């Protein structure tokens, strides 16, 4: 770690070197000659900036390196990040699936008869915000990945030290609703989760289109016998997007949606 710090050369800022395999962390200061370069109060501390590699200034620099004390908070975060490193196979990434079928949200999504679906997530802005907020909280870690809940919660409680390590932690979470429909969100530790565009699917695996200003939704959605409720939910969702639906439908078959500049999208139900 000492040798790695010296590769950065002389600098007015400190260098953090850490090993995710064992959580070891050190802070070094490099300077020319027998006394450190002039540094302001911020530079003399750990600071909140990530230090880039800088070459020694001036010719004939005799590089000196001092090891500085590591704040307890930073040392603790490095240890927690090491746990995440091991749990994710060294990638700092994890893909998980979480069932939220029995969870209440704000009205009208309260009680077993009013559970939301992926269709509702796409069409209800307030529900979308609630679900994304949920996906950014310690609760989602405790539900989806209990072995990472402790480290993740402690890191979230000490974000300034986490930022110093310059290593993002990314969770890709598939949320499954009561009816089997699902969406995928990407949650970066310390940031708000975001919806992965195009990931919404109903329980049959059909993609659910999202609103677009061009009113253009083209495709063939096939629903096999026994999936009448999925077909009905899809039809109602398309109507909520302002799509014209023609035909009476039989509860099974292909819903064919076409688009032209004059009529926009029209979906024809199977006869």
Determine, yes or no, domain membership for 131.
Answer: yes
Higher-confidence position of 3 and 46: 3
Could you read off the pLDDT of 91-102 as tens digits, one per residue? 999 999 999 998
Residue 68: in which H helix or E strand, if any? strand 63-68
Average pLDDT over residues 252-266: 93
Sequence-separated (6 or more) residues with CB below 8 Å from residue 186: 170, 171, 172, 173, 193, 194, 196
State which residues form the domain around 79: 75-195
pLDDT at 34: 54
- pLDDT of residue 234 exceeding 80: yes
**57 and 83 fall within a common domain:** no
Phi, psi of 247 (to 5 degrees): 95, 170
Tell me if the pTM is above 0.85. Answer: no
Phi, psi for 162 (deg, rounded to 5):
-60, -40
Please tell me the total count of domains within the chain: 3
100 with 181, same domain: the answer is yes
By the 8 A CB rule, do 120 and 127 touch? yes
Residues 95 and 65 in one domain: no
pLDDT digits (tens, 9 = 90+) for 100-142: 998 999 999 999 889 999 999 999 999 999 999 999 887 887 8
Looking at residue 142, its pLDDT comes to 80
Residue 60: predicted pLDDT: 66
* Per-residue pLDDT, 106: 92
Alpha carbon distance 11, 51 (integer Å): 9
**How many CB atoms sit inside 10 A of residue 188's CB?**
13
**Do 160 and 236 lie in a common domain?**
no
Region for residue 180 given its phi and psi (left: phi exceeds 0; alpha: psi -120 to 50; beta: otherwise):
left
The span from the first CA to the last CA of the chain, in angstroms, equals: 72
The pLDDT of residue 82 is 96
String of DSSP letters for 202-271: -TTSPBPP---TT----EEEEE-TT-HHHHHHHHHHHHHTT-EEES---SSEEEEEEEETTTEEEEE---
Residue by residue, DSSP assigns 13-63 as S-EEEEETTTTEEEEEEEEETTSPPP--HHHHS--SSPPPP-PPSSTT--E
Same domain, yes or no, for 143 and 240?
A: no
Q: If phi over 0 gives left and psi between -120 and 50 gives alpha, with beta otherwise, what is residue 172?
A: beta
- At residue 11, the pLDDT reads 87
**% the chain with pLDDT above 70:** 90
In this structure, the answer to whether residues 95 and 145 fall within a common structural domain is: yes
My answer on whether 94 and 152 are in the same domain is yes
pLDDT at 22: 95
Q: What is the per-residue pLDDT for 237?
A: 94
The DSSP letter of residue 69 is P
Write down how long the chain is.
Answer: 271
Position 177 scores a pLDDT of: 96
Using the predicted structure, report yes or no on whether residue 149 has a pLDDT greater than 90. no
Q: Are residues 58 and 154 in the same domain?
A: no
Round to whole Å and give the CA distance between 86 and 142: 18
Structure token pair of residue 79: 């240890």
101/61 same-domain check: no
> Is residue 254 a part of any domain in this protein?
yes
Residue 57, in any domain of the structure:
yes
| pLDDT tens for each residue of 38-95 | 443 334 444 333 333 333 344 468 999 999 999 999 999 999 999 999 999 999 999 9
The per-residue pLDDT for 52 is: 34
Per-residue pLDDT of 186-207, as tens digits, reads 999 989 999 999 999 999 999 9
For all residues of the chain together, what is the average pLDDT? 87
Residue 254 CB neighbour total at 10 angstroms: 13
């Amino acid at each position: 770690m000492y040798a790695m710090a010296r590769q950065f050369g002389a600098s007015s800022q400190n260098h953090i070197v850490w090993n995710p395999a064992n959580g070891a962390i050190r802070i070094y200061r490099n300077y020319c000659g027998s006394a450190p370069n002039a540094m302001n109060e911020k530079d003399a501390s750990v600071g909140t900036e990530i230090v880039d590699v800088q070459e020694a200034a001036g010719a004939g620099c005799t590089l000196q390196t001092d090891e500085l004390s590591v704040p307890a908070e930073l040392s603790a975060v490095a240890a927690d990040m090491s746990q995440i490193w091991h749990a994710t196979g060294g990638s700092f990434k994890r893909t998980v699936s979480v069932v939220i079928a029995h969870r209440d949200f704000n009205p009208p999504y309260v009680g077993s008869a009013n559970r939301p679906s992926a269709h509702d997530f796409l069409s209800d802005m307030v529900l979308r915000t609630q679900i994304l907020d949920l996906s950014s909280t310690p609760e989602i870690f405790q539900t989806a990945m209990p072995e990472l809940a402790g480290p993740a919660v402690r890191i979230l409680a000490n974000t300034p030290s986490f930022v110093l390590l310059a290593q993002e932690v990314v969770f890709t979470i598939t949320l499954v609703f009561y009816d089997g429909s699902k969406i995928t969100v990407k949650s970066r530790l310390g940031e708000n989760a975001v919806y992965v565009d195009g990931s919404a699917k109903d329980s049959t695996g059909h993609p659910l289109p999202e609103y677009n200003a061009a009113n253009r939704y083209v495709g063939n959605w096939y629903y096999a016998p026994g999936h009448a409720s999925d077909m009905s939910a899809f039809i109602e969702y398309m109507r909520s997007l302002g799509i014209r639906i023609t035909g009476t439908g039989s509860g099974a078959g292909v819903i064919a949606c076409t688009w032209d500049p004059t009529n926009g999208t029209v979906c024809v139900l199977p006869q």
